[in-house]
Amino acid sequence: MILGVGIDMVKIEKMETAINKWGSHFIDRIFNSEELEKITPGKIYYQRLAARFAAKEAVIKATSKNFSLALKDILILNKENGAPYCKFVKKLDVDVLLSITHIKDYAAACAVAQKI
């Protein structure tokens, strides 16, 4: 059973500005260490972080009728083949289908939450 659908878009420049202004304090308030393991500074660093932020927001929107989640309650990770997936810090009877994309200026994500 579908619980909800969420979508979000982030301007890459806003993510970069926030990180440059608040540094690791900002990153640590949003992301878990497991999420950051494979994201290293480089050419698309801010795009990747913005895409994961958009994914977290999309998941919150998709689950908001049934759960109250904070950004740190949600982990956005990648499978071996690179496909994104959602993992929750606490046990929830929810599976989330997730799609993420990013280009030079924007990152976007769509989430569909379904009851397990």
Catalytic residue among 56, 61, 72, 115: 61
Reply yes or no on whether 102 is catalytic: yes
Nearest to 41 by CA among 55, 53, 27, 62: 27
Catalytic residue among 91, 102, 104, 115: 102
Nearest to 78 by CA among 50, 42, 48, 104: 48
Q: Give the β-pairing of 2-11 and 74-78.
A: unpaired
Which residues are the active-site residues?
A: 61, 102
